[in-house]
């Protein structure tokens, strides 16, 4: 596979979360490097978080592993155990089916750049422990935890 031209990879800004859950993530920017390289078994994203921006709502996956590596800047990792700063060179791993939800929040005054890596499976359900939200990888529809769909934004 030839070298990926990162500058040519399209940016995806914001999130698909239903209102109002999308608001803290409105200015997050992802570049799907794995997709650009033709990968299908796992995803690789280059994530840019401006000051005050969240990577996601706090979540966990039933069937997907996740890994994050901080390339530059500083973020706060939020889990059930509390908050922990992650700086350039730090990393964290999130095994599948571990209900200790996680998210990254940029509370610094500068952009943070992270590499996100995660497996891809159609058997995954992503759950959000702090809010009434879940999504099934089979249909990619955000629902309440009782299965009722949220309206599209």
pLDDT tens profile 108-124:
999 999 999 999 999 99
Q: What is the pLDDT of residue 1?
A: 62
Percent of the chain clearing pLDDT 90 (strictly above): 97
Residue 126 to residue 102: CA distance in whole angstroms: 11
Region 19-138: CATH code: 2.60.120.10
Q: Are 64 and 55 in contact (CB under 8 A)?
A: no
Q: Which residues of the chain have pLDDT under 70?
A: 1
For residue 30, what are its two tokens?
């992802």
Locate the domains of the chain by residue range. Answer: 19-138
Neighbouring residues of 32: CB distance < 8 A, sequence distance ≥ 6: 9, 10, 12, 43, 44, 45
Give, rounded to a whole angstrom, the gap between the first and last alpha carbons of the chain. Answer: 37
Q: In Å, how far are 35, 39, 88, 123, 153 from 79, measured between CA atoms?
A: 28, 29, 19, 24, 28
Alpha helices in the chain (DSSP H): 33-36
Q: What is the pLDDT of residue 2?
A: 85
């Amino acid at each position: 596979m030839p070298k990926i031209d990162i500058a040519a990879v399209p940016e995806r800004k914001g999130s698909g979360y239903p209102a109002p859950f999308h608001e803290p993530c409105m200015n997050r920017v992802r570049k799907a490097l794995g997709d650009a390289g033709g990968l299908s078994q796992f995803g690789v994203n280059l994530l840019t978080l401006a000051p005050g921006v969240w990577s996601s709502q706090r979540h966990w996956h039933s069937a997907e592993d996740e890994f994050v590596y901080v390339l530059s800047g500083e973020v706060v990792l939020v889990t059930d155990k509390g908050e922990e700063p992650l700086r350039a060179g730090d990393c964290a791993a999130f095994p599948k089916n571990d209900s200790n939800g996680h998210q990254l929040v940029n509370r610094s005054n500068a952009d943070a750049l992270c590499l996100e890596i995660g497996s891809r499976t159609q058997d995954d359900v992503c759950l959000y422990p702090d809010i009434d939200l879940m999504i099934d990888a089979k249909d990619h529809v955000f629902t309440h935890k009782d299965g009722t769909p949220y309206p599209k934004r």
